[in-house]
Structure 1
Amino acid sequence: MRNETVLQWKLPPCGKQKLNFDAALFHDINFAGVGVILRNEVGEVVFALSRKEIGVSAVDGIEALAFFRGLQMLLNMGCNGLIIEGDSMHVIDDIKSREPRFTSQVPIIKEIQQILRHLSDWELSHVGRWGNEAAHFASKTCLYGG
């Protein structure tokens, strides 16, 4: 038996919604998939997104793009009281930082930071893979219908 901590997805607190984002790279067929899930305080899916993305080959870049795609959906909904979770520590750290690492995804990180300034009540946290399983699954489903 492996000695590892398994984190499970948890309901957001009353009055909040939770946005999970993830991405998957498919190097052999030259594209990536993003997955985003927004769930309410009882765990019901408010929206889900599975989208094929072309031209992104860096893991952190596609993870940042998944986050961005989720925020694009939220902007049209006027969502507040938001908990945002992803399993890429690099992306989470860059978004929380005043100066993201000098990488190719700096422009998208800056755009995400700008959008977040317009949301009044949000928090961002890193979650382990098992706490982000639904978004991970959504990132891979673009293979079958996207």
Structure 2
Amino acid sequence: MGHLVGDVWKPPPNLVFKLNFDVAVFVEAKRAGFGAIIRNNKGEVMATMPTGGPPVSSNEEAKLLACKKAVEFAIDASFSELVIKGDNSNVMKALSSSLADWSLLGNVVDDVRHLVFRMHWVNFSCIRRGGNWVAHALAQYARNIYEDVFWMEDSPLPTLNALCHDSLLL
């Protein structure tokens, strides 16, 4: 059972997973790469996803599409208690707000909100760019990936340096 924090239910820490996501934009290839990593409360890798994405017109569009893909990945992998972390403060504010988003990207914000509504517990959190190394490495790795790729309790070889760097910071 979870516990109440104020009037809000929160699952116990050992049941909450952290989902970091990021994007890399490959202008010359007219596409983007999305990366996501899910870790447990000990920092251990539960799942990773590098995948290709469509061309984007702005940083916020890229980050929102990366978040949407990351949440779909988390749902497919059966994670339902998440702290979702991204490094764009405008995107994270839009996702965590309960207000209607009438911006040009409001439909993507709504898509993510509808996806997380199916989960048991979600919290959005903005992190500094330096705290998102592994998700960024996964997004870079997706440069030549044209389908969804998932690793459970593992990560592709090119991201191991980023994982080692992150483990030093934990």
Q: TM class by shorter-chain length?
A: 0.7 to 0.9
Distance 1:67 1:128 in 2: 16
Aligned to 1:90: 90
**Change beyond 3 A, Cα 1:145–1:74:** closer
C-alpha displacement of 1:43:
1.7
Distance 1:89 1:82 in 2: 18
Superposition map of 1:47-126 within 5 A: 47-97=47-97, 98-103=99-104, 105-126=105-126
Q: TM-score, normalized by length of structure 2?
A: 0.71
Which has the greater radius of gyration? 2
Listed as ranges, the gaps of 5+ residues in structure 1 are 1-12
Q: TM-score, normalized by length of structure 1?
A: 0.82
Q: Which amino acid aligns with 2:142?
A: C
Aligned to 2:32: 32
Q: For 2:15, what is the secondary structure of its paired residue? A: coil
Q: For 2:142, what is the secondary structure of its paired residue? A: helix
C-alpha displacement of 1:15:
2.4
Distance 1:134 1:141 in 2: 10
Percent identical pairs in the alignment equals 25
Distance 1:78 1:145 in 2: 23
C-alpha displacement of 1:145:
4.7
Structure with larger RCO (C-alpha < 8 A, sep 6+) = 1
Root-mean-square deviation over aligned CA pairs: 1.6
Q: Which amino acid aligns with 1:51?
A: T
**Contact 2:26 2:143 (8 Å CA) reproduced:** no
**Change beyond 3 A, Cα 1:120–1:145:** closer
**Change beyond 3 A, Cα 1:102–1:136:** same
**Deviations 1:79-108, CA, capped at 9 Å, x for gaps:** 2321110001111111122122512x2211
**Contact 2:18 2:38 (8 Å CA) reproduced:** yes
